[in-house]
Amino acid sequence: MVGGPKLRVAKACEAFVELADACGYAVAVMPSAKGLVPEHHPHFIGTYWGVVSTPFCAEIVDSTDAYLLAGPLFNDYSSVGYSLLLKKEKATTVQPNRVVIGNGPAFGCVLMSDFLRALAKRIKRNTTSYDNYRRIYVPEGNPPPCAPREPLRVNVLFRHIQEMLSSETTMIAETGDSWFNCQKLKLPEGCGYEFQMQYGSIGWSVGATLGYAQVARNRRVIACIGDGSFQNWNYTGFVDAIDNGEGRCWTTKVRCEEELVEAIETTMGDKKDCVCFIEVIVHKDDTSKELLEWGSRVSAANSRPPNPQ
């Protein structure tokens, strides 16, 4: 089973989990659906995103005899330059008000939540896909520790961000390398997550962070935003955040792990009621392996030569 972003608009997240409980299948999510399906579910295997999927996830999804896609949204970004190995004839695609089985037939006027709940009552439990996942699964390693005062690495940064997450936090992932690093985070039960990839829009998360924090007063909102998205588009949103925070703002720059640890302790302690801005300075070429792979494939798909006619 693969959950997509339209689970939210269909209000079918709970129905999706009910079906997952009943069927015993391995459960994955598309990147923009992270956070819509609880990651503590016993059969959750991660993010399905083609060649940049969570380790061992794509291998299971692509090799299964059949898959149920609930609320998928496919474009050049979510399909990694149209390189997914999904086969339409093996898919049951459930949209908010429509169900398509393979290459047909299609059934309209069927609500997703109703379909998933009805299927949960009739389906025969089969744990084969998850059993196969457990056979090949190898636990992830940890990044090597930083030497004293060594320039900070991105993988070390996100190891510390992981430790900040709880049931009272929400993570907002801006377009860019934050996509891939935030996808690797393991969300605790109750932890919120916001991610969007339509049109590769950049800068949206600055305003979203402000709006989210205004509404969810009982949650700590953590946003990961690249300098391009922040400086070129929406730094004015940060000024608005300061104004709405009645001037309670704290800023700092970090260049090594020791400074990062100190900054996080401050934001979670003395400055917990402030708008906190931590500028993390890393090497310009320090990017995730997923960004390098994804960028190569998407650029190849989107840079076709012009038609000579």
Whether 199 is in a domain gets the answer yes
Tell me: do 163 and 126 sit in the same domain: no
Tell me: do 166 and 262 sit in the same domain: yes
Domain count for the chain: 2
Whether 264 is in a domain gets the answer yes
Tell me: do 76 and 160 sit in the same domain: no
Tell me: do 60 and 111 sit in the same domain: yes
Structural domain boundaries, residue 271: 154-280
CATH label of the domain that carries residue 159: 3.40.50.970
Bigger pLDDT: 180 or 202? Answer: 180
pTM for the whole structure: 0.91
What is the per-residue pLDDT for 303?
Answer: 82
Q: Is 280 helix (H, G, I), strand (E, B) or coil?
A: strand
What is the per-residue pLDDT for 206?
Answer: 85
d(CA 277, CA 53): 30
Whether 61 is in a domain gets the answer yes
Tell me: do 92 and 171 sit in the same domain: no
Quickly state the pLDDT bin for 309 (edges 50, 70, 90): very low
* Span 124-156, pLDDT tens digits: 999 999 999 999 999 988 888 889 999 999 999
Tell me: do 110 and 191 sit in the same domain: no
Whether 70 is in a domain gets the answer yes
Tell me: do 188 and 82 sit in the same domain: no
Buried/exposed 249-274: b ≥16 CB within 10 Å, e otherwise: bbebebebbebbeebbebbeeebeeb
What is the per-residue pLDDT for 198?
Answer: 78
Tell me: do 130 and 177 sit in the same domain: no
Quickly state the pLDDT bin for 279 (edges 50, 70, 90): very high
CATH label of the domain that carries residue 55: 3.40.50.1220
What is the per-residue pLDDT for 236?
Answer: 65
Average pLDDT score over residue span 97-115: 96
What is the per-residue pLDDT for 273?
Answer: 87
* Span 167-195, pLDDT tens digits: 999 999 999 999 999 999 999 999 999 99
- Indicate the helix (H) or strand (E) that contains 117: helix 112-122
* Range with the largest mean pLDDT of 123-132, 195-204, 220-229: 123-132
Among the listed ranges 55-59, 144-148, 258-262, which one has the minimum average pLDDT value? 144-148
Tell me: do 74 and 188 sit in the same domain: no
Q: Which of 75, 105, 136 is the last residue of a domain?
A: 136
Q: Is the Cβ–Cβ distance between 180 and 285 less than 8 Å?
A: no
Nearest to 273 by CA among 241, 245, 239: 245
User: What angle, 0 to 180 degrees and rounded to 10, lies between the N-to-C axes of helices 13-23 and 112-122?
Assistant: 20
Whether 302 is in a domain gets the answer no
Whether 292 is in a domain gets the answer no
Tell me: do 224 and 256 sit in the same domain: yes
Q: Is the pLDDT of residue 240 over 90?
A: no
What is the per-residue pLDDT for 211?
Answer: 87
Tell me: do 129 and 8 sit in the same domain: yes
Average pLDDT score over residue span 151-165: 96
Average pLDDT score over residue span 210-232: 87
Whether 125 is in a domain gets the answer yes
Tell me: do 159 and 121 sit in the same domain: no
Nearest to 209 by CA among 180, 169, 179, 182: 169
Whether 103 is in a domain gets the answer yes
